[in-house]
Amino acid sequence: MDNWKDGLVGSIKLASPTEFEEIKKNELKKPFSSPDSICRCVCTKCQDIFEANEELVLGLYRTMDLLGNLPEISVQNLKGSHDFYFELNYCHLEEKEEEVIIQLKKI
């Protein structure tokens, strides 16, 4: 399928901003489901919260560097900490916006 939405039955209702903040707070506290995960990502567009492995995180760091927004914390320090997450305006379910926004935030 070229478009992941082709053949989709049903719909998803997005949470209100207040509801989503509560969901996000609870989800970010949970242990990782995969031993390869080093942090989580939150898509502000579709509200997906997903785990990121080192390869994905390195890609996000490269993109942030190109955007002139490289975080002060290194990937190595990020691996040992569950205190940070990436907030993005796109994800694997969404097409990239014309303006890409990636932020590393403290939980």
Average pLDDT per block of 10 residues along the chain, 107 residues long: 56 81 92 93 90 93 91 84 88 72 90
Q: Both ends of the chain: CA-CA distance in Å?
A: 36
Q: What is the pLDDT at residue 1?
A: 42
Structural domain boundaries, residue 72: 17-106
Residue 12 covered by a domain: no
Backbone dihedral region for residue 7 (phi beyond 0: left; psi -120 to 50: alpha; all else: beta): left
Residue 53 covered by a domain: yes
Residue 1 covered by a domain: no
Q: What is the pLDDT at residue 5?
A: 57
pTM for this one? 0.80
